[in-house]
Amino acid sequence: MRRRSHRHHNTLRAMSFFASALTCIFVTAHVEPVFGKIDTVTNIFRPLSQPAQEIKETSFLVLAICAVIFVVVAGLLVYAIVRFRHRPGDEVSEPAQVYGSNQIETAWTVLPILIVFVLILVTSRTIADIQNRKPVTGSVNATVVGHQWWWEIRYPGLGIVTSNELHVPASTEINRRPTFLKLQSADVAHSFWVPQLAGKTDLIPNRENLMWIAPTDPGTYLGNCAEYCGTQHARMLLRVIVHSPQEFEQWVKEQQRPAVEDASASEGRKVFFANSCVSCHAIRGTSAKGVFGPDLTHLMSRQTLASGAALNSHDSLRAWIRDPQQIKVGCLMPNMQMSDKELDQIVAYLESLK
């Protein structure tokens, strides 16, 4: 009796586990956007870009086929367990022993081969379709370079360099504006993943990988590095900001301007150029040409700092410069040991970089 209630308890526990797992899947699939248009839960089952859409359709087909197989196999298993369970008196005689059946063996060999063949064909068609897509007029080209732990983003055709936030135009049926990305790495392997826009593609040292996205809806999409790349891998966050085509042109114009020279921030400018900030950061139109850290020409146009580790606010910018290691342990930006006064001045200068 006791054993039975124990078993009963386990079954209940297993059932409640499956129920909560299903609830989780359901809830994540239907979570509504918060913070304006940013979804905090990035969801592969709610794609808003062409490659992601195609991947979802293939996954659903594969899941459906597997679900049918599961139901058939589990059904037969349950049937056999119930139908042929042990009954009193079974010890007396052995059940009929059946050996070999050509029909059954042929069926369970041929059928799986056919199913696997269908899965291979469907999957390779999606892969080929996504990989062979060619740029069209109106495509945007960008190069994304993975660094420990931030993303360098270059638009070679437009003369723009930025970081951690990839800006692209929305792409519709009528006005197709896909963005083609060249993915490179400056150090170790990283992986570019924005779940709602496309599958993952690795950024590998000494190699160039290609991918493309064609987001349909303007908004901000969250992503992250999807390949363990060191201590701050978890804070190597990524944003893709999708604009309407007009808004995108506007953004391009603003980014193409050299850095603003604001006379009221000249003290901070002096502090910046007197310190080794310039050996790692570039500010277009000035003598700062460092390439080890993010380009700061239009720092204030970005939503976040430190690759998404903090929002780009006055306080977090100050805290970041005072001691980057407090916000992102292990990051390559050193503590410059600045006085409070210098900190205020340099923050004022950086805040002038609109």
Residues forming contacts to ligand CUA in the complex (CB under 6 A) are: 146, 149, 190, 225, 227-229, 233, 236
Q: What residue has token string 């119930």?
A: 82
Least Cβ distance, residue 30 to ligand CUA (angstroms): 29
Which C-beta is closer to ligand CUA: that of 199 or that of 268? 199
Which C-beta is closer to ligand CUA: that of 265 or that of 309? 309
* Distance of alpha carbon 58 from alpha carbon 45, whole angstroms: 11
Least Cβ distance, residue 187 to ligand CUA (angstroms): 9
- Burial class (CB within 10 angstroms; exposed 0-12, middle 13-18, buried 19+) of 271: buried
* Distance of alpha carbon 145 from alpha carbon 192, whole angstroms: 10
Least Cβ distance, residue 228 to ligand CUA (angstroms): 6
Which C-beta is closer to ligand CUA: that of 229 or that of 265? 229
Least Cβ distance, residue 47 to ligand CUA (angstroms): 23
Which C-beta is closer to ligand CUA: that of 226 or that of 259? 226
Q: Can you tell me whether residue 260 is helix, strand or coil? A: coil
Which C-beta is closer to ligand CUA: that of 200 or that of 270? 200
Least Cβ distance, residue 113 to ligand CUA (angstroms): 39
Least Cβ distance, residue 37 to ligand CUA (angstroms): 25
Dihedral of the alpha carbons of 222, 228, 230, 232, in degrees to the nearest 10: 20
- Listed in order, strand segments (DSSP E) in the chain are 140-147, 150-155, 160-163, 165-169, 179-185, 190-193, 201-203, 209-213, 219-225, 237-243, 304-305, 310-311
Between the CA of residue 110 and those of 105, 165, 201, what are the distances in Å?
A: 9, 50, 35
Q: What residue has token string 């897509």?
A: 133
* Distance of alpha carbon 180 from alpha carbon 261, whole angstroms: 33
Which C-beta is closer to ligand CUA: that of 47 or that of 223? 223
Distance from chain centroid for Cα 297: 26
